[in-house]
Amino acid sequence: MNTLLRLTFAGAVALLAGCTEDPLSGPPEVRPGRDQCAACGMLISEDRCASAEIVRVRGRTEYALFDDIGCMLDHHPADTEVVQHFVRNHSTRAWLVANAAAFLHEPNIRTPMGSGIVAFSSAQEAGREFPGAGVAITFDQLVRSRQAAAPATIRP
């Protein structure tokens, strides 16, 4: 009987472990032409302008994908807590943690929703890609700039 009890307990533990949600970490996979922007609903077609967040919604952790960095900055459902922001390097299409990226915010840079915001791994890379487009800024500077332009709609 002891063996049966132990096997039952071990099975229950294994079953419960299989039901728990693994915490998300790192950037998501983006499938251009198949994934939708969480803010505007358009298909993500230009992956070099894509961005993402790890968010907690009603206790559940998930990814929110965006077709434009501006959409990510403007998207702020009341029941959502942002855990981490990611952006795509405009040159290499590699994911970057937003707080470590350098951003250009220039109206003449074409992006899917017209924000003119693109990300790079460094200010030097941004200058090489868009010479004369202005000074690269940090994510915090970008958020503050966006908040000043539309304070009621932007969330850090």
DSSP output for 28-67: ----TTTPBPTTT--B---GGG-EEEEEEETTEEEEEEES
CB 144 within 8 A of CB 150: no
- Answer for the pair 73, 142: CB distance below 8 angstroms, yes or no: yes
Q: Beta strand 80-88 with 51-57: parallel, antiparallel or unpaired? A: antiparallel
User: Per-residue pLDDT tens for 22-39?
Assistant: 588 899 999 999 999 999
- Is this model's pTM higher than 0.85 or not? no
> Which among 14-18, 51-55, 74-78 has the top mean pLDDT?
51-55
Residue 58: φ, ψ to 5°: 50, 45
Reported as a pLDDT band with limits 50, 70 and 90, residue 19 is very low
